[in-house]
Amino acid sequence: MADPFPDCEVIGTDLSPTQVNIAPPNVTFEIDDSQSVWTYPENSFDYIHIRGLFDSISDWPRFYKECFTHIQPGGFLEHFEFSVIARAEDGSLTPGNPFTRWSQNAKEAGDKIGKTFEIAEHTKYLIAQAGFIDVVEERFKWPIGPWSSDAKLKELGRWNLLSWEEGMEG
Ligand SMILES: C[S@@+](CC[C@H](N)C(=O)[O-])C[C@H]1O[C@@H](n2cnc3c(N)ncnc32)[C@H](O)[C@@H]1O
């Protein structure tokens, strides 16, 4: 976003200091809890992009409302989220399968701490509830591992497998 629009100001936020050292000059990073009351002025953003905040937010309606308040009229909210509930089209994820159990355990863990893992499934409804209009949902398959015969999905699957292998234990 910062590269094709060099005149815009981009702010990247995360609760942890995960930010990269190299970024375009119009990017700044802030360590911030997105669940806190937002201190940015109202109507101050043209576009807010959220990615991968499953298991991070305890009150999604309130969070989306903050987005609505801080995006100026005519602006955009984009939420890219993925489901941690693994699915298999070939029926291999049977109820006793370890991966199926992992998904269930993750869901239970999120419910116990009050920060759901199941947000991808509800974003469209909740975003509309916050007041946004023209809400569009696109769903994508995201293979885990390089099993797909489609070259693009195969490549995505390779990266996704790495992501799962590195993140699953946590
Ligand atoms: C799955 S990672 C996604 C990271 C990044 N957004 C991406 O898509 O590559 C989840 C991130 O959410 C951050 N996080 C968790 N709770 C948060 C909160 N309340 N406010 C801001 N960031 C939070 C974590 O520090 C972690 O870096």
* pLDDT tens, position by position, 120-135: 999 999 999 999 999 9
Contact 148, 154 (CB under 8 A): yes
Cα(6) to centroid of ligand 1, in Å?
25
Please check the confidence at residue 151 and state whether its pLDDT lies above 90.
yes
Question: What pLDDT band is residue 21 in, cutting at 50, 70 and 90?
Answer: confident
The residue ranges of DSSP E strands in the chain, in sequence order, are 10-14, 27-31, 45-51, 71-80
- Strands 45-51, 10-14: parallel, antiparallel or unpaired by DSSP? unpaired
In a domain, 65, yes or no: yes
Atom of ligand 1 nearest to the CA of 18: 27
Considering the domain architecture, whether residues 93 and 164 belong to the same structural domain is answered as no
Per cent of the chain over pLDDT 70 is 100
* pLDDT at residue 86 is higher than 90: no
Q: Are residues 60 and 96 in the same domain?
A: yes
Tokens of 67: 């987005």
Question: How does the average pLDDT of the chain come out, rounded?
Answer: 94
- 55 and 108, same domain (yes or no): yes
Which of helix, strand or coil describes residue 127? Answer: helix
Ligand 1 pocket, residues with Cβ under 6 angstroms: 14-16, 18, 33-35, 51-53, 56
In the chain, the number of structural domains is 2
162 domain residue, yes or no: yes
User: Which residues on adjacent β-strands are paired with residue 27?
Assistant: 10
The answer to whether residues 132 and 112 belong to one domain is: yes
From residue 16, how far is each of 43, 117, 149 by CA, in Å? 26, 19, 37
Average of per-residue pLDDT across 89-96: 90
Mean of pLDDT values over 102-107: 92
For 71, phi then psi, to 5°, come to -90, 135
